[in-house]
Amino acid sequence: MSAAADATTDALVVGAGAAGLYAALCAARDGARVTVVSATPLAETASYWAQGGVAAALAVDDSAAAHLADTERAGRGLVRRSAAEVLCREAPDAVRDLETLGVRFDADRHGRRVLGLEGGHTHRRVVHAGGSATGRRLVRQLSARLVAHPSVTVLEDTRAAAVWTTDGRAVGVVLEDGRAIAARATILACGGSAALWSRTTNPPGSVGVGAQLAFAAGAELADLEFVQFHPTAVAGIPGREGFLVTEAIRGEGATLLDGAGERFVDELSPRDEVAQAVWRTMLAEGADHVRLDMRDVDPGAFPNVVGALRESGLDPVTELVPVSPACHYTMGGVACDLQGATKVPGLHVVGETACTGLHGANRLASNSLAECIVYGGRAARAGLDAPALPHRLGPPPSAPAVVAPSRESREALWRHAGIERDADGLRTLLDDPHPLARAIGSAALAREESRGAHRRLDHPGTDPELDGVHTVVQPTDGVPVARRERWDV
């Protein structure tokens, strides 16, 4: 073993959101030595703020086939069927495993799970914990399990600077403080890229860290043009700008109203349709928000949303809530297979960092937390099947791979790669100093159609020739070049 490694482990997980925590626990339960690198203290990751639940076909009148149909309908002809079949088939067992780990989902007085209805779903199949506090409850419990496990080492307030490779294989990471950790399996679970946009529901650290780490190591990115804008983020309230009002509230009867107090959209349509309707209504009225009416919704069902709004001086029980779209979730990410394996041997990705093709052109609500668990476990198992580390390791990288976005880059992405785009605006992103802004611009330019969360004003129609076609961006020192690729169905 090379003396360059400051520590060696079986599985190295970068990121401690739902995907990273579950992957680490699965690896530890299989007897592996595990090291987790977390940029924040445990239970303070982006998953902590997730208000949605976990989608799984648990009701007697539901099925994996129905869940699959809803997922494909939302994904607008771009869902990779094999990836969606895995999720829909394995999600119920994933929920049950979370329960064995101590996660307590909401139940009625008879002890039966309460299943919520969210946009795009034809059945009640979303389990929540604490109403809209699912992410909080989930990461707290998984974090507690993780730190109690004797074979797990957690490095909090620690950031990965670059993936360490030897002869084209990932062999670990280098941390910002210069330490090098060698690992048989390196799993990136660093969240998504939504905070690259200036208006976002995400915490500031969601700037595509995993995508940048993997891209610099030689992995490919895919489907970057598909960016989900949540339709109901708080607007114009100091201290709560961008605060997400969960879709589950609309599932329980909340409505969206224009300036005249009229409904203008089916609130339970898939998110891309609702966000587009909100955006077009704002443009038509010259307004910076529409209004969410949740006065008839039981405030006790969503205590953290109601509490946060009341703390800001607005009582949603008696007042309308000003909302507008904000960048929320990136369907694209690091291209990988159904075990999270990337083009770089030894490097796996899970959660929002990854792109299996599961979400297609538009993610179905609450499929993301289900994805974290289902694919987190798969990546952990596959990573531990990797061969032993080479006897001699090459020198660790000295240059960091992660670039913080400037305010100008974030504003450029909002302006040119927002809810609606065109070629002129996207071309300006090709000269942006941020590598992911350039890659996003390249991918969005290459898809000359409108589909799901990708809306081109200069190509408003959907091109059936692009059904099932994914946009893949290869690493390059210059302007990224996107190519079209069909993945297995």
Per DSSP, the three-state class of 316 is coil
Phi, psi dihedral angles at 319 (to 5 degrees): -125, 155
Q: How far apart are the first and last CA of the chain?
A: 41
Q: Decide if 193 contacts 206 (C-beta within 8 A).
A: yes
Q: What's the half-sphere exposure (Cβ side, CA atoms, 13 Å) at 472?
A: 18
Q: For 437-487, what is each residue's pLDDT tens digit? A: 999 999 999 999 999 999 999 999 999 999 999 999 998 877 888 999 999
**Catalytic one among 271, 410, 447, 451?**
271
The pLDDT score that the predictor gives to residue 296 is 95
Neighbouring residues of 408: CB distance < 8 A, sequence distance ≥ 6: none
Neighbouring residues of 434: CB distance < 8 A, sequence distance ≥ 6: 196, 403, 405, 406, 409
Dist CA 259 CA 261 (whole Å): 5
Task: Produce one character per residue of 326-342: b if its CB has 16 or more CB atoms within 10 Å, e if not.
Answer: bbbbbbbbbbbbbbbbb
Q: For 239-280, what is each residue's pLDDT tens digit? A: 899 999 988 899 899 999 999 999 999 998 888 889 999 999
CA torsion angle for 403, 406, 410, 413 (degrees, to 10)? -70
Q: Decide if 180 contacts 6 (C-beta within 8 A).
A: yes
Q: Say if residue 42's pLDDT is above 90.
A: no
Dihedral over Cα of 75, 77, 83, 89: its sign: positive
Least confident window among 126-130, 182-186, 414-418: 126-130
Q: For 105-161, what is each residue's pLDDT tens digit? A: 999 999 999 999 888 899 999 999 987 778 889 999 999 999 999 999 999 999 999
Three-state SS string over 156-215 comes to CCCCEEEEEEECCEEEEEEECCCCEEEEEEEEECCCCCHHHCCCECCCCCCCCHHHHHHH
- Tokens at 165, concatenated: 């490779």
CA 364 from chain centre, in angstroms, equals: 12
Read off the pLDDT band of 1 (50, 70, 90). very low
The pLDDT score that the predictor gives to residue 47 is 61
Let me know how many helices (H) and strands (E) the chain has, helices first: 12, 19
Interval 380-392 mean pLDDT = 92
Q: For 85-97, what is each residue's pLDDT tens digit? A: 999 999 999 999 9
Q: What's the half-sphere exposure (Cβ side, CA atoms, 13 Å) at 459?
A: 20
Q: Establish whether 271 is a catalytic residue.
A: yes
DSSP output for 45-86: SGGGG--S-EE---STT--HHHHHHHHHHHTTT---HHHHHH
Predicted TM-score (pTM) of this structure? 0.93
Per DSSP, the three-state class of 24 is helix
